[in-house]
Amino acid sequence: MLLALDELRRMDRHEMSARTLDVSSYSGDASEHSWLPSTDLADLLNRVGCKLISRDRPLVLYLAWAEQAGLFEEIADLGSASLAQLAERTCLNEAGVDALLGVMCSLGLVRNHPHGTYTLTETAREYLLRSSPFFIGEHLCAPRRRIPKPYTDRRPRLMTRLATKLILTLSPTLRFGSAKRLANQHARNLSASIAAVRTGEFANVRCLVDLAGGSGTFAIPLAQTHPSVRIILAELPRALKNVRRRLVAQNLDSRIELLGVDVFAMPWTLPDCDGIFIGNFLHAFSDRSCNAICAQAFERLPRGGRIWLHEMLWNARMDGPLITALWNATMRLAGGRQRTAGELSDMLLRAGFVHERVTPTAAAFHLISAEKP
pLDDT digits (tens, 9 = 90+) for 224-251: 999 999 999 999 999 999 999 999 999 9
pLDDT at residue 173 tops 70 = no
Q: Are residues 221 and 326 in the same domain?
A: yes
Contact 145, 159 (CB under 8 A): no
Q: Which domain holds residue 106?
A: 55-161
Q: Are residues 142 and 75 in the same domain?
A: yes
Residue 327 has what pLDDT? 93
| 157 and 63 inside one domain | yes
Q: Quickly state the pLDDT bin for 158 (edges 50, 70, 90).
A: low
What single letter denotes the amino acid at residue 100?
Answer: L
Q: Is 336 found in the same domain as 191?
A: yes
CA distance 127 to 4: 14
Residues 214 and 311 in one domain: yes
CATH number at residue 254: 3.40.50.150
Do the strands 230-235 and 207-211 form a parallel or antiparallel pair, or are they unpaired? parallel
- Give the confidence band of 183 by pLDDT, cuts at 50, 70, 90: confident
Verify cis geometry, omega within 30 degrees of 0, for the bond prior to 114.
Answer: no
Model confidence over 67-79: pLDDT tens digits?
999 999 999 999 9
Q: Is 158 exposed, middle or buried (0-12, 13-18, 19+ CB in 10 A)?
A: exposed
CATH number at residue 133: 1.10.10.10
Tell whether the model's pLDDT for residue 11 goes beyond 70.
no
Alpha-carbon gap, residue 12 to 30, rounded angstroms: 7
Helix axes 94-106, 2-11, angle to 10 degrees: 90
245 and 267 in contact (C-beta within 8 Å)?
Answer: no
The per-residue pLDDT for 45 is 63
pLDDT tier at 17 (50, 70, 90 boundaries)? Answer: very low
The yes-or-no verdict on residue 102 having pLDDT over 50 is: yes
- Let me know if residue 254 belongs to a domain: yes
- 175-187-15 Cα angle (round to 5): 135
pTM of the model: 0.83
Domain total for the chain?
Answer: 2
Residue 262, SS3 per DSSP: coil
